[in-house]
Every structure is written in C-alpha cells, then in structure tokens.
C-alpha cells in the first residue's frame, strides 16, 4: 500500500476517534463529502452539525445526504459563519463533541473569491477546541495555492504550534517534495485529562 492522500488520511484519522452515537461537526460543508462521511460514522443515534456561509453549499450537501443517508434527521445544517458554531449547540453539548472537521479554501466549481479567511477561521478553531470533548479530534485541511491561501495556512500553522502541549497533541501530515502547493493536514487531539 502507498501513502494515503491527505484527504484519505484525514478520514482514516477521524475514523479512529468517532463511534456510533457521537456528536460531530463539519465546519465547512461545501459539497457535503465530509458531512456524509461523518453521518455514516455516527449513525442513527449520533448527530452531525454542519456550517457553511453559502446557500449553494448547503443545498448540495442536503442533496448528497438525501442520496446517501437513510436518516436525514441526524444532520443539522446551518447557513452561518463557523466562528459562531457555539451559538447553535445546546449548552449540554458544549464539551461533548467528538470531532470537528475543517476543509479550508473555496467551494470547488464555484466562486473562488468566496473562501475561508483567517479573521473567521482562527476564532472558529478556538470555538472548535472549546466544544470538543477530552479525547476528541480537530482536523484542518489547508490549501495555499489560491489568493490568500498561503497567509491563511501560515496563520493556522502558527496558531497550532502555540497550543499547550500539556493539553493538546498536534500533528502535520504533509508531502514535502510535491510541487504546486499540495493540500496538507493539521490535526489536534484534545488530551484526556487525568
């Protein structure tokens, strides 16, 4: 077997953490690939919250969910900036989220000017750490090839590097010799407190 692609490795990693019945978040639903992936992992007793600022993305995701999932009730989609994710979670679910996935950049085959930006991405990542349960995982797939992408990726990397190592494990999965700005993953595990 060769190396897993960044997106396949991200799914593999999330699969190690998420169990049926878990609460999870797709912070950038886009075309809904990660939303469906998460919904299949958590099953009928779980819940997936999804966020995007584009109506088109939510419509695509709803369609993909209808085609792929037996039960749409577990998917809760919000047309909303992910920096405000805490405002839609019931208070008793804050600190109980098992996984939060971010896939930054722009919606493929759409307006490339509508993209994630560090001003909202960094607050959203902080919010994600707040809502995660101990032992939970945050994944961020980063792209630096589009305008603003390099600045955003660097900002996320700096943010991840300064996280308290007593509280978080942080890894980076990245091709070092590939040209044309390949995507890479930063993942954060919130350690279980003792």
- Positions in the binding site for ligand SAM (CB under 6 A): 28-34, 51-54, 57, 81-82, 103, 105-107, 114-116, 120
Output the smallest distance, CB 142 to ligand SAM, in A.
10
Residues 67, 136, 131, 140: is their CA dihedral positive or negative? negative
Output the smallest distance, CB 118 to ligand SAM, in A.
10
* Rounded Cα–Cα distance for residues 134 and 93 (Å): 13
Output the smallest distance, CB 192 to ligand SAM, in A.
27
Among left, alpha and beta (phi > 0; psi -120 to 50; other), residue 78 is beta
Output the smallest distance, CB 184 to ligand SAM, in A.
14
Which of 139, 191, 134, 133 is CA-nearest to residue 167? 191
Give strand pairing partners of 132: 97
Q: Which is nearer to ligand SAM, 81 or 130 (CB)?
A: 81
Reading the block at residue 186, the tokens are: 């930063």
Query: What's the Cα-to-Cα distance from 194 to each of 99, 134, 141, 170, rounded to whole Å?
Result: 20, 10, 30, 19
Output the smallest distance, CB 121 to ligand SAM, in A.
7
CA 86 to chain centre: 15
Residue pair 182/4 in contact by the 8 Å Cβ criterion: no
Q: Which is nearer to ligand SAM, 135 or 147 (CB)?
A: 147
Output the smallest distance, CB 135 to ligand SAM, in A.
23
Residue 90, exposed/middle/buried by CB under 10 A (0-12, 13-18, 19+)? exposed
Q: Which is nearer to ligand SAM, 81 or 93 (CB)?
A: 81
**Which residue has the closest beta carbon to ligand SAM?**
30
Q: Which is nearer to ligand SAM, 105 or 136 (CB)?
A: 105
Q: Which is nearer to ligand SAM, 155 or 191 (CB)?
A: 155
Q: Which is nearer to ligand SAM, 68 or 120 (CB)?
A: 120
Residue pair 4/185 in contact by the 8 Å Cβ criterion: no
């Amino acid at each position: 077997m060769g190396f897993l692609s960044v997106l396949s490795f991200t799914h593999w990693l999330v699969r190690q953490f998420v169990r049926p019945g878990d609460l999870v978040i797709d912070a950038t639903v886009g075309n809904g690939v990660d939303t469906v992936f998460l919904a299949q992992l958590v099953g009928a007793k779980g819940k997936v919250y999804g966020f995007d600022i584009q109506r088109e993305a939510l419509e695509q995701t709803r369609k993909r969910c209808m085609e792929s999932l037996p039960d749409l009730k577990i998917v809760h989609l919000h047309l909303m900036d992910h920096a405000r994710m805490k405002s839609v979670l019931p208070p008793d679910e804050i600190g109980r989220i098992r996984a939060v996935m971010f896939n930054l950049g722009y919606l493929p085959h759409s307006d490339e000017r509508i993209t994630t930006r560090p001003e909202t991405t960094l607050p959203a990542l902080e919010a994600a750490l707040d809502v995660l349960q101990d032992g939970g995982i945050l994944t961020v797939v980063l792209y630096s090839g589009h305008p603003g992408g390099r600045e955003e990726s660097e900002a996320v990397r700096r943010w991840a590097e300064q996280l308290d190592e007593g509280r978080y494990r942080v890894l980076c999965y990245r091709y070092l010799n590939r040209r044309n700005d390949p995507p890479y993953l930063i993942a954060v595990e919130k350690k279980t407190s003792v």
